[in-house]
A and B are shown apart, each in its own frame.
Chain A
Amino acid sequence: MWKTIFRRILIMIPELIILSLIVFILAKAMPGDPFTGSINPRSNPAQIHHLMQVNGLYDPWYQQYWNWVVHLFHGDLGTSYEYQEPVTTLLMQRGANTLWLGIFIVIMMYVIGLPLGIYAGRHENKLPDHIIRAYTYITMAIPLFVVLVIGIWIFAYGLNLFPTSGSISPTANGFWPSVFSRFYHIALPGMLVALFSTVNIVQYLRSEVIDAKHSDYVKTARAKGVPMKEIYRHHIFRNSLLPIAAFAGYSITGVLDGQIFAEMIFSYPGMGLLFLNAINYRDYTVITVLVLIFGFLNLMGTLLSDIILAVVDPRVRVE
């Protein structure tokens, strides 16, 4: 098992190198440059030309790439053109914010999705099942950014229950007040993203429960005289939660997607907002690093899924 994990991580290295190349080339292929918008709009084109030259942005892409790699191995991820700060510093600030929001979304997704999926599967084709399925179809049909805009309008702007932006209140001092303030800021965007991202979990779990209900081993358990309630507990749930557990790793991708919208609409200073701004301002150094981080997280997610599956399912042994 450890050997396999080690090997899988080794394979990630060439994958990440290829990813970095693609991102690097695509980012440079975008029209525009990092300076036109960031300085005074009427600034002298000669000055921009000068900045481009100083930063080596006229060099061929392979030379830029090579410079970037050399710096990378010296622990230098580059400097953001937009923020005039090292990318590492930016990541330190934003990474933690994104992590909190992400963890909150994942937890809420499962807290909402698991009981709904199990309940819908257990009471297949009854009224609660229809309601739960209708809910998932609606959440699937409405784009997340619409939900977030409406959500911020009703709950933050209209009802004034939640803050409309930021990650922590500047007046929150001390440990508990700051924890509370952080939570207060992520509650609304986190809940909205979670509520509208459960469709996979609910539908998948529902059909797993229905499949398990009609499986032969459940018939065996019934023939043993085990009450149906106990069969759900001992046989059906564990078998149907298995693929969901394995799915957890992959869900990282989905959460990142939703999170970028949430960070943008709620002006939440996380990596998602950083990423969108970086694209707008052609902040090449930031784009490259962030895409690599997202790519790395996705690869880790699939690895995590495989590990979870190997741990919970005795039939799967990673060799």
Chain B
Amino acid sequence: MNNQPGDKLLEIQDVSTAFNIDGKYYDAVSDVSLDLYKNETLAIVGESGCGKSTLATSIMGLHDPNETKVSGKINFEGTDLLSLTDDEMNKYRGQKIGMIFQDPLSALNPLKRVEDQIQEVMVYHTKMDEKQRHARVMELLNQVGIEKPERIAHEFPHELSGGMRQRIIIAIAIACKPDLLIADEPTTALDVTIQAQILDVLKDIQNENHEAIILITHDLGVVAETADRVAVMYAGQIVELGSALKVFHNPKHPYTRSLLRSMPQRNSENDDLYVINGTVPSLQKMPTHGDRFAPRIPWVPASAHEENPVMHELEPGHFVRCTCYKVFDFPAEKEGAKA
């Protein structure tokens, strides 16, 4: 979207989120540090289970405190969100931070009319009366590209298509003009043509409201289209962080490179796609030290990895975890095909 980045809006420092599994806590996100600037779009990319949604849920404070431990600091405009009580946090949710969910089919209450569901967020954060709220709902529905807003507002969620419902959810998220919009896989449950429309809606909204967007996705195509900066996550850690341009055209970390290589290209129709060996380790089996990606690139000698991989700044704003990127190269085609 190439907006000029403004001041720092969100500062995530050493955030770890651990889930209780059979009485023990396991990190789903470990020591993630990340800054977000006003008016920029940051994409968090990674495969299923890498902790990207968990990170988003941690920012919103939506984890069940009985089952989850979140440590570190999440500074939002100078306030550490993690130090707030649930009631205090409610002043941020919906008001300053809006969230868009993955599955528009289940994210709306089936028993409430669309209008009531959009108005609800204003009831708790604004002093608008019924009439003003209605006017705002119409405005929002227009903004997210819904024709005949009067009619749609009166419908129940089940009467609408998936794309329509996702627009409604976006309308809810932006109703109070938040400074930060977290979009957790907003297009995953939608078909391709609708995906493009929803991304357009998000772009238009950002151009109008100038909020910062955290876009969580596993779809690299979506990232290329929308993000200013990209954070690549693997097994709960950020492995590469940089501008979208850098990460796409000059990827450094073996995982980023593998991801990009496993994406179908227009001019390589007849080649086999690259396959990353193995799977993401489960939470209980997460290695406590060493490079977490090492088992999936076994041909890279152990000496190339760091004992405790840290982020290295290669160029201003472009970070890579571990030193193994220096010697990493893909195995010969035959070996790759075997995997």
Contact = CB atoms under 8 A, between A and B. Distances in A.
Pair from one complex: yes
B124 A216 contact: no
A152 B294 CA distance: 74
Interface in B83-113: 86-87, 89-95, 98-99, 101, 103, 106-112
A41 B319 CA distance: 103
B220 interface: no
Nearest to B108: A217
A217 B106 contact: yes
Contacts of B103: 216
Given A314-B110, A315-B110, A220 B91 contact: no
Interface string A273-295: 00000000000000000000000
A28 interface: no
Tell me the interface secondary structure of chain A in the complex. helix
A314 to B, nearest CB: 5
B125 interface: yes
Interface string A222-244: 11111110100011001100100
A226 B117 CA distance: 11
Contacts of B108: 217, 220
A239 B95 contact: no
A221 B156 contact: no
Given A216-B101, A219-B101, A226 B124 contact: yes
B62 A222 contact: yes
B85 to A, nearest CB: 11
A238 B124 contact: no
A216 B93 contact: no
A99 to B, nearest CB: 33
Nearest to A226: B124
B111 A242 contact: yes
Interface string B115-150: 001001100110000000000000000000000000
B101 A238 contact: no
A217 B120 CA distance: 13
Given A219-B62, A220-B172, A314-B156, A225 B91 contact: yes
A313 B109 CA distance: 12
B120 A223 contact: no
B48 to A, nearest CB: 17
A215 B106 contact: yes
Nearest to A314: B156
Contacts of A221: 109, 120
A239 B111 CA distance: 7
A224 B124 contact: yes
Contacts of B117: 220
Residue among B62, B90, B107, B109 having the largest count of chain A Cβ atoms under 10 Å: B109
B74 interface: no
Contact of A226 (B90, B98, B106, B111): B90
Nearest to A230: B124
A221 to B, nearest CB: 7
A225 B110 contact: no
Nearest to A238: B111
Contacts of B124: 224-227, 230
24 contacts: A216-B101, A216-B103, A217-B107, A217-B109, A219-B107, A220-B101, A220-B108, A220-B109, A220-B169, A222-B93, A223-B99, A225-B91, A225-B93, A225-B95, A225-B125, A226-B121, A227-B124, A234-B120, A313-B110, A313-B111, A314-B110, A315-B110, A315-B156, A315-B158
Given A224-B121, A226-B121, A227-B90, 20 more contacts: A215-B106, A216-B107, A219-B62, A220-B107, A220-B108, A222-B60, A223-B62, A223-B94, A223-B99, A223-B101, A223-B173, A224-B94, A225-B90, A225-B93, A227-B86, A228-B86, A239-B111, A242-B111, A313-B110, A315-B110
